[in-house]
Amino acid sequence: MPSLSTQTSGAGRKTFLAQHPSVMWFLLALALFTLGVTVLAEATGAGLISTSFVKTLGKTLCLCLVAIAMDVVWGYCGILSLGHMAFFGIGGYAIGMWLMYARTEIIVRDSLLAAPIPPTPQEITDGIGTQIFGVVGSAEFPLIWAFADSFALQLLMVILVPGLLALVFGWLAFRSRVTGVYLSILTQAMTLALSLYLFQNDSGLRGNNGLSGLQNIPGFETVSQDAISIGFFWASAVALGLGYVLFAFVVSGKMGSVVRGIRDNEARVRFLGYHVESYKLFVFTLTAIVAAIAGALYYPQAGIINPAEIAPIASIYLAVWVAIGGRGRLYGAVIGAAFVSLVSSWFTGGGAPDVELGIYTIKWTDWWLVLLGLSFVAVTLFFPQGIGGLFDRLVRNPTPDAEGQK
């Protein structure tokens, strides 16, 4: 954004939104979409959209949020992280621990109160432990569940755990100047290590059973799932809007210029005197935290989380969404995540009609991944700007990047 410095130092200091009309348009579109869904949903409107589809849309908004985080770290900063879905999952686990604990606590307390002698706090805790960990043959609360009884503390965990993990990992990696594909592989290794760890029964998070029953929100037992789903949909929309504004702010201005400079030529930015590692670490950690928040909103809508959700393949799909949507533009990431995840569920859910080829019938449940893989290659080869690139052609002339490519 070369015109930026002249604008800020000029006489009339424009507002942030005025400088970035795309943010305005995006928020408007998001608001209209939210309003439309609200009007059509079962709990609040005409009932034309089923509750399960409202949940799907709410989940898609969360995926869009993690996609813009991925876009910032990859499309703007040039770090192809294959670990952001791990942060997303950690966020889900952190909120899931509270949901499961609080929900089980209510059940256990009710059943114990039916007995003639009222239960001691210890008995309630033991009962919850047996309920939650019975499935992995244990009844003891591991240390990581120490804060599970407190909603506020566990919300803090949603931010602190992935934030600290990203901070430590990023500090180690950036400080030893691991870049490019090496860094991608290293983040992938981190993700694999995390998911393998969670797959163990003695990890304290119920091994491959994961956490379940997360759609039951403690304190809202009487509220129907219709209302809860629209509530989460709103929350996801608000989070996406806030996340979009936050990242639009981060990637604009001086800081945004430095970040994009790092993507295009890290060495030059370093020679200009910027402390490249700090910028990268900031972007990496911030996006990890946003990814975790997206996960914390996603999994109560999904209802279940297990270690398979954290496997490296999930993070690679995240990169696929961003690449198909168009890197280096926030709305591209949103388009990519929404488009690919909705189309994917249409194909794999049996929504797409089979294709008769005379001797062979193409069933999309079998062939969707082949199509996705090949279209991914095609996008990388022929449309490096992704779907978002089409918008750019409509709006303005493309600006060449550092290597002169349009």
Residues in the site for other proteins, rule: CB under 8 A?
78, 80, 115-123, 169, 172-173, 175-178, 180-182, 184-186, 188-190, 192-193, 196-197, 199-200, 202, 267, 312, 316, 319-320, 323, 366-370, 372-377, 380-381, 384, 403
Distances (CA, A) of 341 to 47, 229, 247, 331: 24, 19, 22, 15
Helix (H, G, I), strand (E, B), or coil: what is residue 25? helix
Using the minimum distance from each CB to other proteins, give the nearer residue, 89 or 312: 312
Using the minimum distance from each CB to other proteins, give the nearer residue, 20 or 206: 206
Task: Tell me how far, at minimum, the Cβ of 369 lies from other proteins, in Å.
Answer: 4
Task: Tell me how far, at minimum, the Cβ of 180 lies from other proteins, in Å.
Answer: 6
Distances (CA, A) of 119 to 122, 133, 275, 354: 8, 20, 58, 59
Using the minimum distance from each CB to other proteins, give the nearer residue, 55 or 263: 263
Using the minimum distance from each CB to other proteins, give the nearer residue, 93 or 232: 93
151-175 helix and 180-199 helix, angle to the nearest 10 degrees: 140
- Angle (CA) 142-148-154 rounded to 5° is 125
Residue 359, classified by CB atoms within 10 Å of its CB into exposed (0-12), middle (13-18) or buried (19+), is: exposed
Using the minimum distance from each CB to other proteins, give the nearer residue, 35 or 374: 374
Task: Tell me how far, at minimum, the Cβ of 184 lies from other proteins, in Å.
Answer: 6
Read off the tokens for 105. Answer: 């606590």
Using the minimum distance from each CB to other proteins, give the nearer residue, 177 or 275: 177
CA distance 318 to 85: 7
Using the minimum distance from each CB to other proteins, give the nearer residue, 359 or 394: 359
Residue length, the chain?
406
Read off the tokens for 303. Answer: 């209802």
Using the minimum distance from each CB to other proteins, give the nearer residue, 122 or 399: 122
Closest CA to 356 of 348, 368, 364: 364
Using the minimum distance from each CB to other proteins, give the nearer residue, 22 or 179: 179
Task: Tell me how far, at minimum, the Cβ of 341 lies from other proteins, in Å.
Answer: 15
Task: Tell me how far, at minimum, the Cβ of 186 lies from other proteins, in Å.
Answer: 6
Task: Tell me how far, at minimum, the Cβ of 377 lies from other proteins, in Å.
Answer: 4
In the beta sheet, which residues pair with residue 212?
Answer: 304
Task: Tell me how far, at minimum, the Cβ of 81 lies from other proteins, in Å.
Answer: 11
Using the minimum distance from each CB to other proteins, give the nearer residue, 291 or 320: 320
Q: Alpha-carbon torsion 356, 357, 362, 367, what sign?
A: negative
Task: Tell me how far, at minimum, the Cβ of 200 lies from other proteins, in Å.
Answer: 5
Read off the tokens for 391. Answer: 């918008």
Task: Tell me how far, at minimum, the Cβ of 182 lies from other proteins, in Å.
Answer: 6
- Hey, how many other C-beta atoms are within 10 angstroms of the C-beta on 406? 11
Task: Tell me how far, at minimum, the Cβ of 350 lies from other proteins, in Å.
Answer: 16
CA distance 157 to 145: 11
- 211 near 205, Cβ under 8 Å? yes
Backbone angles phi, psi at 212, to 5 degrees: -135, 170
CA distance 341 to 34: 18
- 43 near 229, Cβ under 8 Å? yes
